[in-house]
Amino acid sequence: MRQVYLDYAATTPVKEEVLKEMIPFFSENFGNPSSLYTKGSASKEAIMIARRKVSSLIGADENELFFTSSGTEADDWAIIGIADALKSKGNHIITTGIEHHAVLHSCEYLAKNGYEITFLPVDKEGRVRAEDLENAITDKTILVSIMYVNNEVGTIQDIKELCRITKSKNVVFHTDAVQALGNVKINVKELGVDLMSISGHKIYGPKGIGALYIKRGTKISDFMHGGAQENKKRAGTENLTGIVGFGKAAELAELNSENHITKVTELRNYFIDQVFEKIDDVFLNGSREFRHPGNANITFEFIEGEAMLLYLDLLGISVSTGSACSSASLTPSHVLTCLGVPVEKIHGSLRFTIGDPTTKEDIDYVIEKLVEVVAKLRAISSVSKAKGW
Amino acid sequence: MGMYNDKVMDHFMNPHNIGELENPDGIGTYGSPVCGDMMQISIRVQDEIITDAKFKTFGCGSAIASSSVATDMIIGKTIDQALAITNKQIIDELGGLPAVKIHCSVLADHAIKAAIYDFAQKNGKIYAGLEGFDPNEDDEENDTCDTEE
Ligand code: FES
C-alpha cells in the first residue's frame, strides 16, 4: 500500500545528507567538546561550524545563537528567562491565544507566580491586529511573545510591524519561529526581534535539538544551571550529533529555500483546489494569503476528525486533526477556537502539511481516498446539510 | 493500530446497522455533552421485542464502534432487556475502550434509551428502566465539559 505522510508540521524525516554528517560523531568523533585534548577540540570545532550554519539561516551572528534541547526549551527559556531578568521593571507579558503550548503553558506558569498575562485575540484568519498589541502595552509590560507561523492553521504574522510597535515602547519581543524556519525567509536583523526559538526536526534535522537566538545585549536569566557550555548561558554537555545534524539541515534549508517554498506552495494549492472541486461542504481554516507554504487546514462538515484520521491511516495516509475527540482532554483545538471556528466545525478539521518528499502522485492518491472516506463517514453521520445540526 | 483493539476497529471499519429505519416505532437522538457528538438510534418493535435497529452517528471511531455494537446488542431483545444494557456491557462487548473514550459508549447507552422513550411516549407505555430518564435534559452525571488539559 502507498504510504503518504502529510504531517510535516509535526515532524520531518532526517535527510540522508544530514544523517551522513551526524554518524561519525556518535562513536568515532565522540569527544566532549569541553575536553582540552584533540578529540575534544574536534567536537568543539564541529559545533562551531554547525552554529555558523544555523545562524546564517536566520541572519544572526554566531555568538547570538544558543543550542537547546528543543523548540520547547527555547520558548520556556525566552519567556521565563526574560520574566525573571526584568522583574524589577514590570510583571506584564503579552502573548496570543494561538501560541504553541510551550509558550502558553510557560505564561500560565508565570501567571501563578505573580505575573499578569494578556492573551491577544486574532482575527478570523488568525492574524494579530497591530492596534490590539499597541493598546495592550502598559508601562508594566516587559515582554511580547508572538509566534511567527502558526503550527495548526499556518497563519504568518507581520512580525516586522509588531516588532516596530514593541520597540517604540522599549519592550522585548520574542517569536516562536519553529514552523517558520525553512518555510519563510527569516532575517532576525530585518525583523527586529530580540529572541527567536527554532528547532531542528522541522527542517529535516534530528529531534532533540533546538536553539534560541538572543540578540546581543538582551538581559535574560539562565535556565539550565551547571557547566560553562554555550558561552555560560545554557549548561549541559552539548548534544553533539544533534547540533551537527541541525547544522547540516540548516545549510540544506538555506540552499533549497527558494525551491522548497515554490514546490510545496504549488502542491499545497493543487491539493486545496482538488479538495474544493471534489468534495462539498468544506472550508479552509486560516488565511489564503498569509500562510505556511505547505499547510492546508480544512474542515469537512458533518463528520468528525479522529474518525477521518483513522480511516486515512488505514489507507497509509498520515494527517492530524483539531477535533476535541482526538485530544486527551477532549477539548477542541485552542487555535481554531481562537479563530472563532464553532466547536462542531472544529470537529471536522484536518491538517495536512506537505513537505519536500511529497509528490503530485501522493496528492492524487490522498484526494482519491479522501473522497471515499468523507462519503463513507457522511453516510454514517447523524447530521447533514439537509438535516442540520 | 495503536489506540483501539481489533474488535473496536472492526466495528469502526465495517459498522453494522447503519442508517435510519423508515417509519420507525421509536427514534431518539442523544448528544454528548463531553465532546459535542451526536448519535441517533431508530427501532422497530413487535410484541415488546426489538426486531430491528439502525444508527447514525456523528463522532469518533469509538462512538461509531459503540453504536454498531449497541444496535447489534438490542436486536432480538425485549424492551426491558434493552433498557437494562449498561455502557459497561457495551464496552465489554467491544473488548474494552481507552479510558478517555468511555463516554462515547455512554452516548450509545443513552441513544438506546432515547429511542425507547420515544416508543413509550407514542404508545402510552411505562417502563421501569426508563424511570428518571429525560432525553431532553442534556446531561446528568458524567459531564466533564470543563476538563482542562
Ligand atoms: S465521540 Fe467525541 S470522543 Fe468519542
3-state secondary structure chain B: CCCCCHHHHHHHHCCCCECCCCCCCEEEEEECCCCCCEEEEEEEEECCEEEEEEEEEECCHHHHHHHHHHHHHHCCCEHHHHHCCCHHHHHHHCCCCCHHHHHHHHHHHHHHHHHHHHHHHHHCCCCHHHCCCCCCCCCCCCCCCCCCC
Verify whether the Cβ–Cβ distance B38 to A303 is below 8 Å. Answer: no
The CATH class, in words, for A4-12+257-386 is alpha beta
Predicted pLDDT of residue B149:
31
Kindly state whether residue B89 falls inside one of the protein's structural domains: yes
Entry pTM: 0.94
For residue B137, pLDDT over 70 is answered with no
Does the distance separating the beta carbons of A382 and B39 come in below 8 Å? yes
Per-residue pLDDT, B3: 87
Residues of B within an 8 Å Cβ radius of A: 1, 4, 12-13, 15, 18, 29, 34-40, 55-61, 63-64, 100, 103, 144, 147-149
pLDDT tens by residue, B70-114: 999 999 999 999 999 999 999 999 999 999 999 999 999 999 999
**Whether the predicted pLDDT of A231 surpasses 50:** yes
Is B30 among the domain residues?
Answer: yes
Indicate whether B144 belongs to any domain: no
Task: Look at residue B147 and tell me if it is in a domain.
Answer: no
According to the model, what pLDDT value does residue B142 have?
39
Mutate which of B4, B29, B37 for ligand 1 pocket (most atoms within 8 A of beta carbon): B37
Tens of pLDDT, residues A245-279: 999 999 999 999 999 999 999 999 999 999 999 99
Residues of A taking part in catalysis: 325
ipTM score above 0.85: yes
A5 confidence band (pLDDT: 50, 70, 90): very high
**What's the structural domain count of chain B?**
1
Per-residue pLDDT, A389: 63
CA-based nearest distance A305→chain B, Å: 7
Catalytic-residue membership of B104: yes
Identify whether B60 is a catalytic site residue.
no
pLDDT greater than 70 at residue A136: yes
For the domain spanning A16-255, the CATH number is 3.40.640.10
Q: Give the pLDDT band of residue B147 (cuts 50, 70, 90).
A: very low
- Residue span of the structural domain in which B98 resides: 6-126
Confidence label for A26 from pLDDT (cuts 50, 70 and 90): very high
Domain of B31, CATH number, reads: 3.90.1010.10
Judge whether B145 lies within some domain: no
Residue list, ligand 1 pocket, CB within 6 Å: A 325; B 32, 35, 37, 59-60, 62-63, 101, 104
Nearest to A90 by CA among A138, A149, A37: A138
Whole-number pLDDT of residue B128: 93
- Strand B49-58 with A295-300, pairing: unpaired
pLDDT at B32: 79
Q: How far apart (Å, rounded) are the C-alpha atoms in residues B149 and B144?
A: 12
Q: Chain A: give the shortest CA distance to residue B61, in Å.
A: 5
> A323 vs B60: CB contact, 8 Å cut-off?
yes
Protein residue with its CA nearest to atom 2 in ligand 1: A325
Give the mean pLDDT of chain A: 97
Every domain of chain A and the residues it spans: 4-12+257-386, 16-255
| pLDDT value of residue B34 | 75
- The pLDDT tens digits of the residues spanning B31-81 come to 877 788 899 999 999 999 999 999 999 999 999 999 999 999 999 999 999
Average pLDDT over residues A300-306: 96
Cα-to-centroid distance, A129 and ligand 1 (Å): 35
Indicate which atom in ligand 1 lies nearest the CA of residue A323: 2
Q: Is A357 helix (H, G, I), strand (E, B) or coil?
A: coil
| Cβ neighbours of A310 in B, within 8 Å | 1, 4, 12, 61
Q: What average pLDDT score do residues A356-362 get?
A: 98
Query: Could you tell me the pLDDT band of residue B141, with boundaries at 50, 70 and 90?
Result: very low
Is the residue at B142 inside a domain?
Answer: no
Classify residue B146: in a domain, yes or no.
no
- Chain B residue whose CA is closest to A332: B35
